Structure 1
Amino acid sequence: QVYMLKVEGIAFRFLPDPVQVKNALELKASVGPGGFDGVPVFQSDLLVVKKEDRRYCPIYFQKEDLEKALSTAVSSRSRVSTISSHMAVGSLEDVLKKMAISEENSGWDDLIFIPPGKSHSQHIQEI
């Protein structure tokens, strides 16, 4: 959700969904100790999409959307516990900072943000 603010020169602010913050904290805790700051985003090293000569690494705002994409992409022989071990959580703010300071062809320009409720294939078709 985005709200317009006129305080301290901030043009807008992202407010994370409390359910997704809970999902992020649970996923982060399963990997190791540490807190979580910011708007959570979810991704997996198993999801890399190629379209024409371009490669995309989808970033999701909802853990459930990533789980759905992974369950479609991973063969039915794989267990669900295997899927969750391939998920990573980060903060939108950190991703945006790294994208801004990254070198060309570093891989950070391959990221594509998937709106909540959409699949990566739907979104990539639209761009």
Structure 2
Amino acid sequence: MPAEKLEERLAGVPVYALSNSEEEFVLVSGVSTKKSLGLLCFKKEDAEALLEQMKSMDPGMRKGGSKVVAVALNKVVQLQVANVALRLVPESTQIKNALRERERAGFSNDSFPGVPVFQSRSLVLRSQNKSYRPVFFRKEDLEQSLLRASRDQNQLNPAFRPGDIQVAVFEDIIKGMKDTSTSNWDDVVFIPPGFDVSTDPTQLQQ
């Protein structure tokens, strides 16, 4: 998928980074590896807690000017900086949600290998004769969308029930979307945290 198309699918999704007084990203440096790590949180409160933690460790950050800034995720996924690794930090509650859903599906793990995202076979969006799969960063947003869709559908078909929730790894999806040899994720559109999707019964698959 071309870079501009990928950016479109991620439009409106914020992540939160630490910035110094010069408006530069604050990086965590490894003593032995000589590499730097840029942390990007999906939850603003997590970034604020990280800032306080780093202020307690680095006196230079206490002088003022260091702050949490919102960054567009669609720009971050295309960013490549020499000797800097960007690490996305998911919400801890969504990690728990993902592990719970995986357990229901028969997989038992104590950890999750990245940022969890949630989708359902029952929810499909249509635009200009194309179908898209909405993918959510919060399970609650997906559940709200399913509830709304189910309410709409029940007016016509009382037998409709929301389908199962599937969990995927955000980083794997992005990797798949960047890979031009496969089209497994070409129909995905990402929904910003805190948003649900409005749909009507004709846009749902059962």
Under a length normalisation based on structure 1, what TM-score does the superposition of the two structures give? Answer: 0.78
Higher mean alpha-carbon deviation, 34-43 vs 108-117, is at 34-43
In the alignment of these two chains, the number of paired residues is 117
Q: What does residue 21 of structure 1 align with?
A: 95
| Unmatched runs of 5 consecutive residues or more in structure 1 | 123-127
The C-alpha deviation readout for 1:6-36, integer Å capped at 9, x for no partner, is: 41412x3211000000000000001012433
The Cα RMSD (Å) is 2.4
Asked if the contact 2:148/2:198 (under 8 Å) is kept, the reply is no
Q: What does residue 70 of structure 1 align with?
A: 146
Report how far residue 119 of structure 1 moved: 2.0
Cα gap change, 1:87 to 1:78, in 2 (>3 Å): farther
Q: Distance in 1 between matches of 2:136 and 2:148?
A: 15
The C-alpha deviation readout for 1:28-87, integer Å capped at 9, x for no partner, is: 0010124331100000111111012332110000000000001111244468xx53x511
Under a length normalisation based on structure 2, what TM-score does the superposition of the two structures give? Answer: 0.50
The C-alpha deviation readout for 1:78-97, integer Å capped at 9, x for no partner, is: 68xx53x5110011111112
What percentage of residue pairs aligned between the two structures are identical? 37
Asked if the contact 1:58/1:111 (under 8 Å) is kept, the reply is yes
Task: Give 3-state SS (helix, strand or coil) of 2:148's partner.
Answer: helix
Q: What does residue 125 of structure 1 align with?
A: none
Aligned equivalent of 1:9, options 84, 87, 104? 84
